[in-house]
């Protein structure tokens, strides 16, 4: 039984069903209604570097002083927040950042391959997937130079003029940037539509036993198995996979499993694109402001912000107005902001930015969680890796030598 029907849970259920397990999926809200609902839509295989990096604590202080800045921190009398922050700060150095980024890059490449297999072999479609390319904009020549030092042959460094010529959507923002790096092989898609499409395939799978709508109240260790106490009834299974996003931490704790997860709250706007709008062709990331703009089908998705404000999905009107202000100033013609749907979601984040995939230490309980800012990008590969472990198989060749265990996070 897989707990959580977000992008991580659904891909896990699929990978297990494909490998011979009889699987059921349980969620309190239905398919893809949590953080997978309206995220940034980036399948960001190149840009996987975690948030914890050298220089981030100093930048964070500047961001906190900017009312429209990308970061908010509300200190709380919550030991989870403080211990997460302590570990995060310890990891803010170049060596740890590079080590985690290289692990995530390999999981990302594997996930890309797994996603393409779902699309090509299993006809998972209609989720607005497009290899739109990604343009990362830099406001200072120094940061552009630093980024350009590590590009490969398939990426291009563009001047301000080139960026503006390629992307008419940059008419307003263009004069304020130094230039950009364009990667043509990056993709975007609608994460929720992907969940729905894969769920559709799953419903027809001979090993799939159904989606149960129920809320997990507690997990209990019962010898070699874990039983699930739902609001409606209790469930038993040979194996339980915890993939409940940020809620996983509270569910695992009574079993003695301490998950280093903290919710990093982010916001998005989903605006219609009409004939008169100049939406970007590629997905665009404003590197300094940490705002991204992506055309997903006929809509513009604007996503931003990392708020450490506890486990609360409510939309803060001040933050929403801030995001609207930035989008209307920088990309006024990209979409119809007057009719944009606002959304907030909680990234289930570990301090290092690496997910936790593997056994929990409690017999019968497995973990697939903590994909943080990259859950859509990493879901398909994370799911295959967990299925290989649950089947006692070798680690997939592309991930040989890597560990995403609870101890390695
Ligand atoms: C603003 C923003 C932008 C983002 N942009 C990107 C992006 O561009 N690219 C990318 O790769 N990632 C992005 N992410 C991250 C990505 O959205 C997440 O990593 C991913 O959605 C996490 O998926 P999940 O399945 O782990 O969690 P969720 O989607 O939250 O799923 C967890 C599920 O568990 C269920 N659940 C929880 N508790 C219980 C319970 N007690 N009983 C039953 N069910 C329960 C919930 O209902 C939910 O459906 C972004 C996130 C945010 C907030």
Which DSSP string corresponds to 315-328?
PPHHHHHHHHHHHH
- Out of 245, 249, 309, mutate this one to test ligand 1's pocket (max ligand atoms within 8 Å of CB): namely 245
Atom of ligand 1 nearest to the CA of 10: 25
CATH number where 82 lies: 3.50.50.60
Residue 222 β-bridge partners: 225
CA nearest ligand 1 atom 41, residue: 216
42 lines ligand 1 (CB under 6 A): yes
Query: How many domains does the chain divide into?
Result: 1
Q: How far is Cα 65 from Cα 355, in angstroms, rounded to an integer? A: 30
DSSP for 91-111 reads T-SHHHHHHHHHHHHHHHHHH
Ligand 1 lined by 35 (C-beta under 6 Å): yes
**Is residue 278 assigned to a domain?**
yes
- Spatial neighbors of 107 by CB under 8 A, at least 6 apart, are 355, 378, 381, 382, 385, 399, 402, 404
Residue 169 lies in a domain: no
Q: Is 269 within a domain?
A: yes
pLDDT at position 67, please? 85
pLDDT digits (tens, 9 = 90+) for 149-169: 999 999 999 999 999 999 999
Task: Using CA atoms of 193, 197, 199, 203 in order, give the dihedral in degrees to the nearest 10.
Answer: 150
Question: Of 132, 142, 148, which Cα lies nearest the Cα of 177?
Answer: 142
- Is 386 a domain residue? yes
Question: Of all atoms in ligand 1, which is nearest to the CA of residue 378?
Answer: 11
pLDDT at 68: 87
Residue 13: C-alpha distances to residues 17, 153, 240, 380 (Å): 6, 37, 11, 11
Residues 248, 252: Cα–Cα separation, whole Å: 6
For residue 361, tell me if it sits in a domain.
Answer: yes
Query: Which residues does the chain have with pLDDT short of 70?
Result: none
The domain of 85 spans: 2-133+185-399
Ligand 1: residue whose CA is nearest its atom 22? 375
Predicted confidence at residue 409, as pLDDT, reads 85
- Cβ of residue 13 lying under 6 Å from some atom of ligand 1: no
pTM equals 0.98
Measure 268 CA to ligand 1 centroid, in angstroms: 13
Is the CB of residue 29 below 6 angstroms from any atom belonging to ligand 1?
A: yes
Residue 172: inside a domain, yes or no? no
Q: pLDDT value at position 280?
A: 96
In a domain, 26, yes or no: yes
pLDDT at 35: 98
| Ligand 1 pocket mutation pick from 38, 40, 319 by most atoms within 8 angstroms of CB | 40
Residue 272 tokens read as 């219609």
Q: Are strands 234-237 and 291-296 parallel, antiparallel or unpaired?
A: unpaired
Question: CA–CA separation, 86 vs 88, rounded Å?
Answer: 5
Question: How confident is the model at residue 408, as a pLDDT?
Answer: 85
Ligand 1, from 32, 375, 379, 382: best to mutate by most atoms within 8 Å of Cβ?
Answer: 375
Residue 247 CB less than 6 A away from ligand 1? yes
Q: How far is the CA of 42 from the centre of ligand 1 (A)?
A: 14
Contact 268, 289 (CB under 8 A): no
Residue 40, in any domain of the structure: yes
Query: From CA 238, how far away is CA 217, in angstroms rounded?
Result: 19
């Amino acid at each position: 039984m897989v707990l959580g029907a977000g992008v991580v849970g659904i891909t896990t259920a699929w990978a297990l069903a494909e490998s011979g397990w009889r699987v059921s999926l349980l969620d309190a809200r239905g398919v893809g209604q949590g953080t997978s609902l309206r995220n940034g839509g980036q399948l960001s295989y190149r840009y996987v570097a975690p948030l914890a990096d050298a220089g981030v604590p100093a930048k964070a202080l500047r961001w906190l002083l900017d009312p429209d800045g990308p970061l908010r921190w509300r200190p709380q009398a919550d030991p989870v927040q403080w211990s997460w922050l302590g570990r995060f700060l310890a990891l803010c150095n170049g060596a740890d950042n590079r080590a985690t980024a290289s692990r995530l890059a390999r999981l990302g490449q594997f996930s890309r391959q797994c996603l393409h297999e779902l699309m090509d072999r299993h006809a998972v479609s209609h989720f607005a997937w497009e290899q739109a390319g990604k343009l990362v904009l830099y406001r200072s020549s120094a940061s552009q130079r630093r980024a350009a030092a590590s590009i490969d042959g398939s990426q291009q460094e563009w001047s301000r003029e080139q960026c503006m010529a390629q992307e008419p959507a940059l008419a307003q923002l263009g004069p304020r940037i130094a230039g950009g790096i364009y990667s043509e092989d990056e993709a975007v898609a609608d994460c929720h539509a992907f969940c729905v499409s894969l769920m559709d395939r799953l419903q027809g799978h001979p090993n799939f036993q159904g989606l149960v709508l129920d809320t997990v109240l507690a997990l209990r260790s019962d010898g070699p198995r874990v039983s699930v106490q739902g609001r409606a009834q209790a469930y038993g299974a040979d194996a339980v996979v915890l993939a409940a996003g940020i809620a996983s931490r509270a569910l695992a704790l009574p079993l003695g499993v301490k998950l280093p997860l903290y919710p990093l709250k982010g916001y998005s706007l989903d605006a219609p694109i009409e004939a008169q709008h100049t939406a970007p062709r590629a997905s665009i990331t404003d590197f300094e402001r940490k705002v991204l703009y992506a055309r997903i089908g006929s809509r513009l998705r604007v996503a931003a912000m990392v708020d450490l404000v506890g486990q609360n999905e409510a939309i803060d009107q001040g933050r929403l107005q801030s995001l609207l202000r930035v989008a209307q100033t920088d990309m006024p013609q990209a979409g119809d902001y007057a009719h944009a749907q606002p959304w907030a979601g909680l990234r289930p984040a570990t301090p290092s930015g690496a997910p936790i995939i593997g056994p929990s230490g409690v017999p019968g309980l497995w973990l697939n969680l903590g994909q943080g800012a990259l859950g859509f990008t990493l879901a398909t590969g994370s799911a295959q890796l967990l299925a290989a472990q649950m089947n006692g198989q070798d680690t997939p060749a592309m991930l040989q030598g890597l560990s995403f265990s609870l101890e390695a996070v």
